[in-house]
Protein backbone atom coordinates (compact mmCIF):
# COMPACT_ATOMS: atom_id res chain seq x y z
CA UNK A 1 0.00 0.00 0.00
CA UNK A 2 2.61 2.46 -1.14
CA UNK A 3 2.31 5.75 0.68
CA UNK A 4 3.73 7.60 -2.32
CA UNK A 5 0.65 6.56 -4.28
CA UNK A 6 -1.76 7.96 -1.71
CA UNK A 7 -2.54 11.15 -3.60
CA UNK A 8 -6.20 10.52 -3.00
CA UNK A 9 -7.94 7.79 -1.14
CA UNK A 10 -11.10 5.95 -2.06
CA UNK A 11 -11.90 3.20 0.37
CA UNK A 12 -13.70 0.02 -0.54
CA UNK A 13 -15.05 -2.75 1.64
CA UNK A 14 -15.14 -6.17 -0.02
CA UNK A 15 -18.37 -8.09 0.58
CA UNK A 16 -19.46 -11.55 -0.41
CA UNK A 17 -23.07 -11.91 -1.48
CA UNK A 18 -23.88 -13.73 1.75
CA UNK A 19 -22.03 -11.28 4.00
CA UNK A 20 -23.05 -7.93 5.40
CA UNK A 21 -24.14 -5.99 8.44
CA UNK A 22 -27.67 -7.36 8.58
CA UNK A 23 -30.46 -4.97 9.43
CA UNK A 24 -33.81 -6.69 10.04
CA UNK A 25 -36.76 -5.57 7.97
CA UNK A 26 -38.35 -2.57 9.65
CA UNK A 27 -39.73 0.78 8.65
CA UNK A 28 -37.46 3.40 7.14
CA UNK A 29 -37.04 5.67 10.17
CA UNK A 30 -36.35 2.77 12.54
CA UNK A 31 -33.95 1.22 10.04
CA UNK A 32 -32.32 4.60 9.62
CA UNK A 33 -31.69 4.66 13.34
CA UNK A 34 -30.06 1.22 13.08
CA UNK A 35 -27.87 2.40 10.21
CA UNK A 36 -26.85 5.41 12.28
CA UNK A 37 -25.73 3.18 15.14
CA UNK A 38 -23.36 1.35 12.75
CA UNK A 39 -21.69 4.48 11.36
CA UNK A 40 -18.68 4.12 13.66
CA UNK A 41 -18.12 0.47 12.69
CA UNK A 42 -16.49 1.31 9.38
CA UNK A 43 -12.82 1.72 8.40
CA UNK A 44 -11.57 1.29 4.87
CA UNK A 45 -9.96 2.65 1.74
CA UNK A 46 -8.11 2.27 -1.65
CA UNK A 47 -4.36 1.95 -2.35
CA UNK A 48 -2.73 1.89 -5.87
CA UNK A 49 -4.89 2.42 -8.98
CA UNK A 50 -3.88 3.19 -12.58
CA UNK A 51 -5.87 4.37 -15.61
CA UNK A 52 -7.24 7.53 -17.16
CA UNK A 53 -11.00 7.26 -17.45
CA UNK A 54 -13.47 4.86 -15.93
CA UNK A 55 -17.16 4.96 -15.04
CA UNK A 56 -18.17 2.30 -12.53
CA UNK A 57 -21.87 1.55 -11.79
CA UNK A 58 -22.67 2.05 -8.12
CA UNK A 59 -25.61 0.81 -6.01
CA UNK A 60 -27.11 1.04 -2.55
CA UNK A 61 -26.13 -2.09 -0.65
CA UNK A 62 -29.38 -2.08 1.32
CA UNK A 63 -31.26 -4.30 -1.14
CA UNK A 64 -28.27 -6.48 -2.06
CA UNK A 65 -26.47 -7.35 1.18
CA UNK A 66 -28.59 -5.53 3.81
CA UNK A 67 -25.72 -3.15 4.49
CA UNK A 68 -25.94 0.61 5.00
CA UNK A 69 -23.23 1.61 2.54
CA UNK A 70 -22.80 1.75 -1.27
CA UNK A 71 -21.24 -0.90 -3.45
CA UNK A 72 -19.49 -1.46 -6.78
CA UNK A 73 -18.46 -4.71 -8.47
CA UNK A 74 -14.82 -5.66 -8.89
CA UNK A 75 -12.98 -8.68 -10.24
CA UNK A 76 -9.89 -9.95 -8.48
CA UNK A 77 -7.35 -12.59 -9.53
CA UNK A 78 -6.74 -14.63 -12.69
CA UNK A 79 -9.20 -16.00 -13.68
CA UNK A 80 -11.30 -13.26 -12.18
CA UNK A 81 -13.42 -13.72 -9.06
CA UNK A 82 -16.23 -11.17 -8.69
CA UNK A 83 -16.70 -9.45 -5.34
CA UNK A 84 -18.90 -6.60 -4.16
CA UNK A 85 -17.07 -3.65 -2.65
CA UNK A 86 -18.37 -0.91 -0.40
CA UNK A 87 -17.27 2.59 -1.38
CA UNK A 88 -15.80 4.67 1.41
CA UNK A 89 -13.84 7.91 1.10
CA UNK A 90 -12.07 7.98 4.43
CA UNK A 91 -9.60 5.47 5.87
CA UNK A 92 -6.58 3.58 4.56
CA UNK A 93 -6.32 -0.17 5.08
CA UNK A 94 -7.04 -2.84 2.46
CA UNK A 95 -8.57 -6.16 3.48
CA UNK A 96 -10.29 -8.95 1.56
CA UNK A 97 -11.93 -12.06 3.14
CA UNK A 98 -9.99 -15.08 1.88
CA UNK A 99 -10.83 -18.77 1.66
CA UNK A 100 -10.33 -20.49 5.01
CA UNK A 101 -10.95 -17.30 6.96
CA UNK A 102 -12.33 -17.95 10.44
CA UNK A 103 -15.34 -15.72 11.06
CA UNK A 104 -15.78 -14.70 7.42
CA UNK A 105 -18.72 -15.53 5.19
CA UNK A 106 -18.80 -18.61 2.98
CA UNK A 107 -18.13 -16.60 -0.20
CA UNK A 108 -14.51 -15.42 -0.24
CA UNK A 109 -11.54 -14.73 -2.47
CA UNK A 110 -9.68 -17.98 -3.25
CA UNK A 111 -6.02 -17.17 -3.78
CA UNK A 112 -5.20 -20.78 -4.75
CA UNK A 113 -7.30 -20.38 -7.90
CA UNK A 114 -5.44 -17.25 -9.08
CA UNK A 115 -2.30 -17.54 -11.18
CA UNK A 116 -1.39 -13.91 -10.45
CA UNK A 117 -1.60 -14.18 -6.65
CA UNK A 118 1.60 -13.28 -4.80
CA UNK A 119 2.26 -13.16 -1.03
CA UNK A 120 4.50 -10.30 0.12
CA UNK A 121 7.62 -11.13 2.10
CA UNK A 122 8.61 -9.46 5.33
CA UNK A 123 11.24 -7.39 3.54
CA UNK A 124 8.71 -5.76 1.22
CA UNK A 125 8.42 -1.99 1.79
CA UNK A 126 4.62 -2.30 2.10
CA UNK A 127 5.08 -4.47 5.20
CA UNK A 128 6.28 -1.48 7.20
CA UNK A 129 3.20 0.51 6.26
CA UNK A 130 0.46 -1.77 7.60
CA UNK A 131 -0.83 -1.57 11.19
CA UNK A 132 0.91 -3.87 13.69
CA UNK A 133 3.05 -5.79 11.16
CA UNK A 134 4.36 -9.21 12.16
CA UNK A 135 6.97 -11.40 10.52
CA UNK A 136 6.84 -14.70 12.34
CA UNK A 137 7.08 -16.50 9.02
CA UNK A 138 8.26 -15.73 5.51
CA UNK A 139 5.22 -13.60 4.64
CA UNK A 140 4.21 -10.27 6.11
CA UNK A 141 1.24 -10.38 8.46
CA UNK A 142 -0.70 -7.73 10.34
CA UNK A 143 -3.58 -7.35 12.71
CA UNK A 144 -5.89 -4.51 13.54
CA UNK A 145 -8.72 -3.77 15.93
CA UNK A 146 -11.40 -1.24 15.02
CA UNK A 147 -14.38 -0.60 17.24
CA UNK A 148 -15.71 -4.07 18.06
CA UNK A 149 -13.90 -5.72 15.13
CA UNK A 150 -10.54 -7.49 14.98
CA UNK A 151 -8.77 -8.73 11.85
CA UNK A 152 -5.73 -10.96 11.30
CA UNK A 153 -4.36 -10.97 7.74
CA UNK A 154 -1.36 -11.59 5.52
CA UNK A 155 -0.21 -8.99 3.01
CA UNK A 156 -0.58 -10.10 -0.61
CA UNK A 157 -0.89 -8.85 -4.19
CA UNK A 158 -3.13 -9.77 -7.09
CA UNK A 159 -4.70 -8.20 -10.16
CA UNK A 160 -7.99 -6.33 -9.88
CA UNK A 161 -10.40 -5.07 -12.52
CA UNK A 162 -12.70 -2.14 -11.81
CA UNK A 163 -15.08 -1.41 -14.70
CA UNK A 164 -12.82 -1.68 -17.77
CA UNK A 165 -9.57 -0.91 -15.96
CA UNK A 166 -7.18 -3.72 -15.02
CA UNK A 167 -4.74 -2.96 -12.21
CA UNK A 168 -1.81 -5.26 -11.70
CA UNK A 169 -0.24 -6.16 -8.35
CA UNK A 170 -2.93 -4.65 -6.16
CA UNK A 171 -1.76 -4.80 -2.53
CA UNK A 172 -4.22 -5.85 0.16
CA UNK A 173 -4.65 -7.87 3.32
CA UNK A 174 -5.83 -11.46 2.85
CA UNK A 175 -7.99 -11.92 5.94
CA UNK A 176 -7.43 -15.14 7.86
CA UNK A 177 -9.53 -14.43 10.94
CA UNK A 178 -12.05 -11.81 11.93
CA UNK A 179 -14.33 -11.00 14.81
CA UNK A 180 -16.94 -8.24 14.80
CA UNK A 181 -18.83 -6.76 11.90
CA UNK A 182 -16.56 -5.14 9.33
CA UNK A 183 -14.10 -6.08 6.57
CA UNK A 184 -12.14 -3.09 5.23
CA UNK A 185 -10.28 -2.85 1.93
CA UNK A 186 -7.98 -0.25 0.40
CA UNK A 187 -6.71 1.31 -2.80
CA UNK A 188 -5.44 4.71 -3.78
CA UNK A 189 -5.43 6.22 -7.23
CA UNK A 190 -2.77 8.34 -8.85
CA UNK A 191 -1.23 7.57 -12.21
CA UNK A 192 -3.52 8.17 -15.14
CA UNK A 193 -6.49 8.86 -12.86
CA UNK A 194 -4.47 11.90 -11.73
CA UNK A 195 -6.00 11.76 -8.24
CA UNK A 196 -9.40 12.93 -9.51
CA UNK A 197 -12.67 11.09 -9.00
CA UNK A 198 -16.34 11.70 -8.34
CA UNK A 199 -19.39 9.71 -7.35
CA UNK A 200 -23.17 9.99 -7.32
CA UNK A 201 -24.88 8.03 -4.55
CA UNK A 202 -28.46 6.95 -5.33
CA UNK A 203 -31.16 6.91 -2.68
CA UNK A 204 -30.50 4.27 -0.06
CA UNK A 205 -33.88 2.78 -1.06
CA UNK A 206 -32.86 2.38 -4.74
CA UNK A 207 -32.59 -1.05 -6.33
CA UNK A 208 -29.91 -1.63 -8.96
CA UNK A 209 -26.64 -0.01 -9.96
CA UNK A 210 -28.04 3.41 -10.90
CA UNK A 211 -25.30 5.53 -9.30
CA UNK A 212 -21.79 5.92 -10.63
CA UNK A 213 -18.17 6.21 -9.58
CA UNK A 214 -16.17 8.22 -12.13
CA UNK A 215 -12.37 7.85 -12.10
CA UNK A 216 -9.98 10.20 -13.85
CA UNK A 217 -10.19 13.77 -15.17
CA UNK A 218 -11.89 12.87 -18.45
CA UNK A 219 -15.00 11.55 -16.72
CA UNK A 220 -15.85 14.61 -14.67
CA UNK A 221 -18.60 17.27 -15.04
CA UNK A 222 -17.55 20.55 -16.64
CA UNK A 223 -19.82 22.78 -14.58
CA UNK A 224 -19.75 22.20 -10.84
CA UNK A 225 -19.45 24.48 -7.83
CA UNK A 226 -16.35 23.86 -5.74
CA UNK A 227 -14.78 24.67 -2.42
CA UNK A 228 -11.16 24.35 -1.33
CA UNK A 229 -9.89 21.07 0.07
CA UNK A 230 -7.97 21.70 3.29
CA UNK A 231 -4.76 19.76 3.93
CA UNK A 232 -4.26 17.82 7.14
CA UNK A 233 -1.01 15.79 7.03
CA UNK A 234 -2.02 13.91 10.19
CA UNK A 235 -5.26 12.73 8.62
CA UNK A 236 -4.40 12.67 4.92
CA UNK A 237 -7.25 10.29 4.06
CA UNK A 238 -9.93 12.79 5.19
CA UNK A 239 -11.42 15.33 2.78
CA UNK A 240 -11.60 18.50 4.86
CA UNK A 241 -13.51 21.58 3.73
CA UNK A 242 -14.27 24.97 5.24
CA UNK A 243 -17.90 24.92 6.46
CA UNK A 244 -18.78 28.48 7.43
CA UNK A 245 -22.48 28.45 8.30
CA UNK A 246 -25.77 26.52 7.99
CA UNK A 247 -29.06 27.94 6.79
CA UNK A 248 -32.44 26.40 7.68
CA UNK A 249 -34.96 27.63 5.14
CA UNK A 250 -33.93 31.27 4.69
CA UNK A 251 -32.49 31.77 8.17
CA UNK A 252 -28.78 31.39 8.90
CA UNK A 253 -28.75 29.80 12.34
CA UNK A 254 -26.57 31.10 15.14
CA UNK A 255 -23.53 28.83 15.36
CA UNK A 256 -20.21 29.92 16.92
CA UNK A 257 -17.30 29.90 14.42
CA UNK A 258 -15.39 27.60 16.76
CA UNK A 259 -17.84 24.79 15.89
CA UNK A 260 -16.49 24.75 12.31
CA UNK A 261 -12.86 25.76 12.95
CA UNK A 262 -10.27 23.67 11.09
CA UNK A 263 -7.31 22.55 13.22
CA UNK A 264 -4.84 20.13 11.58
CA UNK A 265 -3.21 19.52 14.97
CA UNK A 266 -6.33 18.10 16.59
CA UNK A 267 -8.20 17.00 13.45
CA UNK A 268 -11.13 19.32 14.14
CA UNK A 269 -13.12 20.69 11.22
CA UNK A 270 -15.56 19.36 8.60
CA UNK A 271 -15.15 16.39 6.26
CA UNK A 272 -17.12 14.70 3.49
CA UNK A 273 -17.41 10.95 4.07
CA UNK A 274 -19.36 8.42 2.00
CA UNK A 275 -18.88 5.66 4.58
CA UNK A 276 -20.87 7.37 7.33
CA UNK A 277 -24.64 7.21 6.85
CA UNK A 278 -26.02 10.29 8.64
CA UNK A 279 -24.42 13.72 9.03
CA UNK A 280 -23.16 14.46 12.52
CA UNK A 281 -22.39 17.96 13.76
CA UNK A 282 -20.62 19.16 16.89
CA UNK A 283 -23.19 19.88 19.57
CA UNK A 284 -23.50 23.70 19.20
CA UNK A 285 -24.03 23.35 15.44
CA UNK A 286 -26.51 20.51 15.66
CA UNK A 287 -28.47 22.15 18.48
CA UNK A 288 -28.85 25.34 16.45
CA UNK A 289 -30.09 23.46 13.38
CA UNK A 290 -32.41 21.24 15.40
CA UNK A 291 -33.88 24.15 17.36
CA UNK A 292 -34.64 26.08 14.17
CA UNK A 293 -36.39 23.03 12.70
CA UNK A 294 -38.43 22.74 15.88
CA UNK A 295 -39.20 26.47 15.90
CA UNK A 296 -40.57 26.26 12.37
CA UNK A 297 -42.79 23.37 13.44
CA UNK A 298 -44.49 25.57 16.05
CA UNK A 299 -46.68 23.65 18.48
CA UNK A 300 -46.42 20.31 16.67
CA UNK A 301 -45.55 17.51 19.08
CA UNK A 302 -41.89 16.50 18.85
CA UNK A 303 -40.79 12.95 19.65
CA UNK A 304 -37.70 10.78 19.34
CA UNK A 305 -37.09 7.52 17.50
CA UNK A 306 -33.94 5.51 18.10
CA UNK A 307 -31.00 7.87 17.65
CA UNK A 308 -33.12 10.68 16.15
CA UNK A 309 -34.37 13.30 18.61
CA UNK A 310 -36.57 15.43 16.30
CA UNK A 311 -39.46 13.44 14.87
CA UNK A 312 -43.05 14.35 13.97
CA UNK A 313 -46.22 12.54 12.96
CA UNK A 314 -47.15 15.46 10.68
CA UNK A 315 -45.25 16.72 7.59
CA UNK A 316 -42.10 18.64 8.54
CA UNK A 317 -42.35 22.27 7.47
CA UNK A 318 -38.73 22.91 6.40
CA UNK A 319 -38.24 23.08 2.62
CA UNK A 320 -34.42 23.19 2.55
CA UNK A 321 -31.23 23.13 4.61
CA UNK A 322 -28.14 24.79 3.16
CA UNK A 323 -24.52 24.05 4.05
CA UNK A 324 -22.53 27.21 3.36
CA UNK A 325 -18.92 26.44 2.47
CA UNK A 326 -16.19 28.82 1.44
CA UNK A 327 -17.07 29.68 -2.19
CA UNK A 328 -19.94 27.18 -2.43
CA UNK A 329 -23.44 26.70 -1.01
CA UNK A 330 -25.07 23.25 -1.06
CA UNK A 331 -28.85 23.45 -0.66
CA UNK A 332 -30.45 20.15 0.30
CA UNK A 333 -34.10 19.29 -0.39
CA UNK A 334 -36.09 17.41 2.24
CA UNK A 335 -35.15 13.99 0.84
CA UNK A 336 -31.57 14.71 1.94
CA UNK A 337 -32.31 15.59 5.56
CA UNK A 338 -35.68 14.02 6.43
CA UNK A 339 -36.07 10.26 6.80
CA UNK A 340 -39.62 8.98 6.62
CA UNK A 341 -41.17 5.89 8.12
CA UNK A 342 -42.66 3.48 5.59
CA UNK A 343 -44.90 1.94 8.25
CA UNK A 344 -46.35 5.09 9.81
CA UNK A 345 -46.54 8.86 9.34
CA UNK A 346 -43.41 9.58 11.41
CA UNK A 347 -40.64 11.72 9.87
CA UNK A 348 -37.32 12.54 11.55
CA UNK A 349 -34.48 15.01 11.09
CA UNK A 350 -31.78 12.67 9.75
CA UNK A 351 -28.81 14.28 11.49
CA UNK A 352 -27.26 13.96 14.91
CA UNK A 353 -24.98 15.63 17.42
CA UNK A 354 -21.57 14.28 18.28
CA UNK A 355 -22.36 12.24 21.34
CA UNK A 356 -19.43 12.83 23.67
CA UNK A 357 -18.25 16.27 24.69
CA UNK A 358 -14.58 15.20 24.71
CA UNK A 359 -14.50 13.51 21.31
CA UNK A 360 -12.95 15.10 18.26
CA UNK A 361 -14.74 18.29 17.16
CA UNK A 362 -15.38 16.89 13.72
CA UNK A 363 -18.43 17.60 11.54
CA UNK A 364 -19.15 14.82 9.01
CA UNK A 365 -21.21 15.41 5.85
CA UNK A 366 -22.43 11.85 5.31
CA UNK A 367 -23.98 9.69 2.59
CA UNK A 368 -27.67 10.38 3.35
CA UNK A 369 -27.02 14.07 2.78
CA UNK A 370 -24.96 13.31 -0.36
CA UNK A 371 -27.62 11.20 -2.11
CA UNK A 372 -28.44 12.29 -5.65
CA UNK A 373 -25.51 14.71 -5.78
CA UNK A 374 -22.29 14.46 -7.77
CA UNK A 375 -19.37 14.75 -5.32
CA UNK A 376 -16.09 15.63 -7.04
CA UNK A 377 -12.69 15.17 -5.39
CA UNK A 378 -9.88 16.94 -7.27
CA UNK A 379 -6.71 16.54 -5.23
CA UNK A 380 -4.19 18.20 -7.62
CA UNK A 381 -6.28 21.39 -7.64
CA UNK A 382 -7.31 21.06 -3.97
CA UNK A 383 -11.02 21.22 -4.78
CA UNK A 384 -14.17 19.46 -3.68
CA UNK A 385 -17.24 20.00 -5.84
CA UNK A 386 -20.95 19.32 -5.37
CA UNK A 387 -23.71 19.39 -7.99
CA UNK A 388 -27.28 18.14 -7.90
CA UNK A 389 -27.52 14.96 -10.03
CA UNK A 390 -30.47 12.54 -9.74
CA UNK A 391 -29.05 9.03 -9.97
CA UNK A 392 -31.61 6.92 -8.11
Instruction: List the catalytic residues.
Output: 88, 273
Nearest to 17 by CA among 76, 71, 84: 84
DSSP 265: T
In b/e form, how buried is each residue of 143-160, taking b as 16+ CB within 10 angstroms?
A: bbebeebebbbbbbbbbb
Please count the other Cβ atoms lying within 10 Å of the Cβ belonging to residue 82. Answer: 12
Say if residues 132 and 150 touch (Cβ distance below 8 Å): no
CA–CA separation, 311 vs 179, rounded Å? Answer: 35
Rounded Cα–Cα distance for residues 95 and 215 (Å): 21
Specify the DSSP element, H or E, that contains 355: none
Question: Are the C-beta atoms of residues 227 and 242 closer than 8 Å to each other?
Answer: yes
Q: Return all residues near 156 (Cβ < 8 A) that are at least 6 apart.
A: 111, 117, 118, 119, 120, 139, 171, 172, 173, 174
DSSP string, 82-116: EEEEEEESS----EEEEEEEETS-S--B-GGG-TT
Total H helices, total E strands in the chain: 4, 28
What is the separation of C-alpha 380 from the centre of its chain, rounded to a whole number of angstroms? Answer: 21
* Nearest in space to 328 (alpha carbons), one of 211, 238, 223: 223
Contact (Cβ atoms closer than 8 angstroms) between residue 225 and residue 202: no
Other Cβ atoms closer than 10 A to 256: 11
Q: Residues 6 or more apart from 286 whose CB is under 8 A from it? A: 280, 351, 352, 353, 354
Amino acid sequence: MTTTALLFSLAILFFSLAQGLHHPSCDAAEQGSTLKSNDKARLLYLSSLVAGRSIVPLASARAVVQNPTYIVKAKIGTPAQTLLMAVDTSNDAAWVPCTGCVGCSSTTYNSAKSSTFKPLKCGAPQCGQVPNPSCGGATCGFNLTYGNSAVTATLVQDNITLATDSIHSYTFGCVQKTTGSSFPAQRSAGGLYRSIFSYCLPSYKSVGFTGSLRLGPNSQPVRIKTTQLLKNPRRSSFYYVNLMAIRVGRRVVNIPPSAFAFDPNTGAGTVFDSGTVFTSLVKPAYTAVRDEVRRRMGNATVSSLGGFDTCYSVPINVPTITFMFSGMNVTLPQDNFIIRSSASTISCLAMAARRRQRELRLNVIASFQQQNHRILIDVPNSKLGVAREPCS
